[in-house]
Structure 1
Amino acid sequence: MRLFHTSDWHLGQNLHGQDRDFEHGCFLEWLLRQLKLDQPDVLLIAGDIFDTVNPPVKAQERLYDFIVGAHEQQPSLTIVMIAGNHDSGSRIELPAPLMRRLRTHALGRVLWLDDGQLDAERLLLPLPDASGEIRAWCLALPFLRPAEVTGAQLGDNYLRGIGQVHEWLIAAANAKRTPGQALIAISHAHMAGGSVSEDSERSLIIGNAEALPASLFGSTISYVALGHLHKPQKVNGEERIRYSGSPIPLSFSEINYQHQILDVKLDGETLLSVEPKLIPRAVNLQRIGPAPLAEILLQLAELPNTDLLEDLQRQPWLEVRVRLDEPQPDLRYQVETALQGKAVRLVRIAAEYAGTGRNDGADDNATLIELDQLSPQELFSRAWQDNYGSEVDEQTLKDFAELLQDVQMEREQP
């Protein structure tokens, strides 16, 4: 059996206000070509399909047009997609009855039966090969929110609740499969030891309390297709537990990632190989600096000029990081003037202050940080420090995390 493992499409994402639809369209066209060329049995999409719980119409059209196109060119392909922490579980599942006619399974939430047991049956999906023979079973684990895995049956410990869900689902899968059928898990989670991007991955719960141990996936699981972390990587060096990473760089901190999907091959229950397929980058992200303003202006002057015959949608996104000794009221004007006629698209100017030019009482080595660089937890911690003059305690942080989750779940209601 052959599978393609993808994740973190983040359809509808924008980069400092700039639309990424063209880049997502290029990726999906490339993925369709790869599906046609290699004819895998299964396509896995491990969460964060959309960038927000209420994605723009264009982003939803991208997803459903892709699913229809994939089914038309390869009717035997099975697609499994789960909700991530950026997604609305109910929105992901809303068209599920229709998508099943296209051999696509959409799982957004875990549900519980009247007797308090996990509804494992809906989370276990048969994976047939091109001939229709079931070669594997997929254990679909959408992002598990605290309210879904805590309560009367599971207690109030979030990690313990997650562990119980995994244990029950794996037990149900082992009872259902026959010898020779592989178990494939697809999950959206932060695994302990995973390498996180600087500013493009929203914290799932809070701090390290969210990090899950790889031991959740026992040796009976042939392959674990993970989503959430944008950098492709193995978990604890295990070949069978992988993040495929995002298909496009979602922030300037991801410039140096080799964005990819993973081509997974199995023989029965045995994992044969996991090979990356590198995704062509439709639009480059370019960062200049940090450096003094005079040096920055010289570097901007050396950038190539616009070629009117080139596709403007493929011009690089540019971030300029300027190191200043004192505020420059006309900083943006100087940068934009230097960029006139250049074949780049400016999306962000970041100023870092150093030296002794400050007279406002701030730390001479302080860095100016924009709001979009801070998580809600970091903003809350800074506000607490400013108001009370002390570090926020762990219990208050946990209470804030629960309130934040409640707000996010309310936003997800269709």
Structure 2
Amino acid sequence: MTVRFFHTSDWHLGQFFYNHSRQYEHEQFLTWLIDQIKLKQPHALLIAGDIFDVINPASSAQKQLYQFLADAHAVAPHMQTLMIAGNHDSGYRIEQVEPLLSKYNAKAVGVIHKNTEGQLDLNRLLIPIYNEQQHIVAWCLSLPFLRPAEITGINEQTNDSKAAIAHLHQQLIAAAKQRKTKDQALILMSHAHMQGAETSDSERPIIIGNEEALSTALFDEVIDYVALGHLHKPQKVGQDHIRYSGSPIPLSFSEVNYKHQLLEITIDPQLASPERVQLEVLPIPRSIALHRIRGEMHDVLQQLSTLATGEIENIDQREYVDIEYHSLTPPPPNLRQQFEQALPENRYRLVRISRQYLSSEQDGSHTQAIQLEPPTPAQLFQNVWQKQGYSADDEVLNDFMSLVHEAEKILEDEQNS
């Protein structure tokens, strides 16, 4: 029996981009996705982690997700939405709304649970996917971002993270093999950093020195497709059926040239490879453009003046501009004003200016990047935290940013009252 599903990941709902909300861009993506669901009527939608941008997302970000689930269920009632937590998500948070999710034929796997015997609870990780006739056409092996505290110390095979990850994959795949029939597909969904994959500068590192990047050897040949999340660039890892879908919008200027996409996968277990798995790329329209301007001062001003004109009334819909100018001398005091005046009026948001400092020495030239924009709250927090002798890990930084966003919301409410 054939199974058809969409693979997406790394939505990062609630993200602020240089203090600008991405809500409009996410709304445009989700509206487009609803249209694709209505047109294609897949059996399942797989969201491979980092649904939200922070562990404690704003109510507006949560509303976006739940409104999407309601809209998707309305246009495709039989479709299942299967989600896993990423390293940006709170696994417990996305699981605790299970009664709400079930109303929209959705399910979330946020953490690795243990059963009453203290062993890994594999049943929660094995999710059947049904077709329109309510026959099981596939099993989804759902692995959220694996935190050591959840998977180590269970038995002698789980003494450290590497051994525990291998043990979990072996046990889960073995359990899936026992359940599947010859006409059912096996899909593994995971939020992880795989060896050999290409990163951008917007992904929060979850490995140290690439030593803990996972090997595709974890995936048994019986797995028909591996739906990965965490890295924002769409790419395959080693083999065609092991893929990152990538993020639906560019989450940093380093991703400006990424071809953001949704993957439509069709698997027919009755066929042999390579016909067994068919893949179609659905390009995601970009609702707001990002511009990276590079060069010496006169080159930058020239490039700015040639950008497209035409006012965009809503500031949240204006295009982003990142400038890096090259110079031998310190910046003039009216630098930002010069750049702003060169930009066509009321169309762009100049979100970052940096200087590439050029200096000539006897043994040649070298450059040093100098950031001219004021530090972000996250950067200030990390600097202070490190001076106190602490290491600002992901959870600490997420908690801090949640407080920042709550404070911003309070200020906004006070200004509007």
TM over 0.5: yes
Aligned ranges for residues 207-218 of structure 1 at < 5 Å?
207-218=209-220
- Residue 303 of structure 1 and its aligned partner are, at CA, apart by 2.3
1:301 to 292, 302, 305: 305
In structure 2, the partner of 1:53 is: 55
Aligned ranges for residues 287-326 of structure 1 at < 5 Å?
287-289=292-294, 291-307=295-311, 313-326=316-329
Letter matched to residue 282 of structure 2? K
In structure 2, the partner of 1:331 is: 335
Output one character per residue of 1:345-378: Cα deviation in whole Å (capped at 9) or x when no partner.
Answer: 2111121111259xxxxx9632225767x999x9
For residues 379 and 205 of structure 1, the distance between their equivalents in structure 2, rounded to whole angstroms, comes to 21
Q: Does 1:170 align with 2:168?
A: no
In structure 1, the partner of 2:410 is: none
Output one character per residue of 1:114-158: Cα deviation in whole Å (capped at 9) or x when no partner.
Answer: 433110001111100111111111111000012112225254421
When normalised by structure 1's length, the TM-score is: 0.86
Contact persistence 2:14–2:53 (CA under 8 A): yes
- Would the alpha carbon gap of residues 354 and 342 (structure 1) be closer, same or farther in structure 2, given more than 3 Å must change? farther
- Residue 113 of structure 1 and its aligned partner are, at CA, apart by 2.1
Aligned ranges for residues 216-365 of structure 1 at < 5 Å?
216-236=218-238, 238-268=239-269, 270=271, 271-289=276-294, 291-307=295-311, 313-328=316-331, 329-339=333-343, 341=345, 343-355=347-359, 365=367
Letter matched to residue 341 of structure 2? T
For residues 337 and 366 of structure 1, the distance between their equivalents in structure 2, rounded to whole angstroms, comes to 27
Stretch moving more, 156-165 or 264-273: 264-273
In structure 2, the partner of 1:17 is: 19
- Would the alpha carbon gap of residues 53 and 132 (structure 1) be closer, same or farther in structure 2, given more than 3 Å must change? same
In structure 2, the partner of 1:396 is: none
- Residue 379 of structure 1 and its aligned partner are, at CA, apart by 7.5
- Residue 48 of structure 1 and its aligned partner are, at CA, apart by 0.4
For residues 379 and 222 of structure 1, the distance between their equivalents in structure 2, rounded to whole angstroms, comes to 45
- Residue 340 of structure 1 and its aligned partner are, at CA, apart by 5.7
Contact persistence 1:225–1:242 (CA under 8 A): yes
Letter matched to residue 202 of structure 1? R
For residues 269 and 93 of structure 1, the distance between their equivalents in structure 2, rounded to whole angstroms, comes to 35
How many residues end up aligned between the 2 structures? Answer: 387
Letter matched to residue 261 of structure 1? L
- What fraction of aligned residue pairs are identical, expressed as a percent? 45
In structure 1, the partner of 2:109 is: 107
What residue ranges of structure 2 are gaps of 5+ in the alignment? 403-417
User: What SS does the corresponding residue of 2:172 show, helix, strand or coil?
Assistant: helix
1:179 to 152, 177, 182: 182
For residues 11 and 232 of structure 1, the distance between their equivalents in structure 2, rounded to whole angstroms, comes to 18
In structure 2, the partner of 1:404 is: 393
Output one character per residue of 1:77-96: Cα deviation in whole Å (capped at 9) or x when no partner.
Answer: 01100000011111111211
Letter matched to residue 323 of structure 1? H
In structure 2, the partner of 1:194 is: 197
Contact persistence 1:303–1:343 (CA under 8 A): no
Contact persistence 1:239–1:274 (CA under 8 A): no
In structure 2, the partner of 1:159 is: 162
For residues 116 and 91 of structure 2, the distance between their equivalents in structure 1, rounded to whole angstroms, comes to 21
User: What SS does the corresponding residue of 1:354 show, helix, strand or coil?
Assistant: strand
Contact persistence 2:56–2:399 (CA under 8 A): no
Q: Does 1:68 align with 2:73?
A: no
- Would the alpha carbon gap of residues 353 and 111 (structure 1) be closer, same or farther in structure 2, given more than 3 Å must change? same
Stretch moving more, 171-180 or 117-126: 171-180
User: What SS does the corresponding residue of 2:190 show, helix, strand or coil?
Assistant: strand
For residues 409 and 338 of structure 1, the distance between their equivalents in structure 2, rounded to whole angstroms, comes to 37
When normalised by structure 2's length, the TM-score is: 0.85
In structure 1, the partner of 2:413 is: none
For residues 366 and 411 of structure 1, the distance between their equivalents in structure 2, rounded to whole angstroms, comes to 30
Contact persistence 1:53–1:411 (CA under 8 A): no
User: What SS does the corresponding residue of 1:204 show, helix, strand or coil?
Assistant: coil
- Would the alpha carbon gap of residues 262 and 58 (structure 1) be closer, same or farther in structure 2, given more than 3 Å must change? same
In structure 2, the partner of 1:93 is: 95
In structure 2, the partner of 1:393 is: none
- Would the alpha carbon gap of residues 178 and 39 (structure 1) be closer, same or farther in structure 2, given more than 3 Å must change? same
User: Once superposed, what is the RMSD of the aligned Cα atoms?
Assistant: 2.9
Contact persistence 2:224–2:277 (CA under 8 A): no
Output one character per residue of 1:187-238: Cα deviation in whole Å (capped at 9) or x when no partner.
Answer: 00001110111x11110132212310001111111111000111111111x1
In structure 2, the partner of 1:360 is: none
For residues 86 and 175 of structure 1, the distance between their equivalents in structure 2, rounded to whole angstroms, comes to 33
What residue ranges of structure 1 are gaps of 5+ in the alignment? 358-362, 388-398
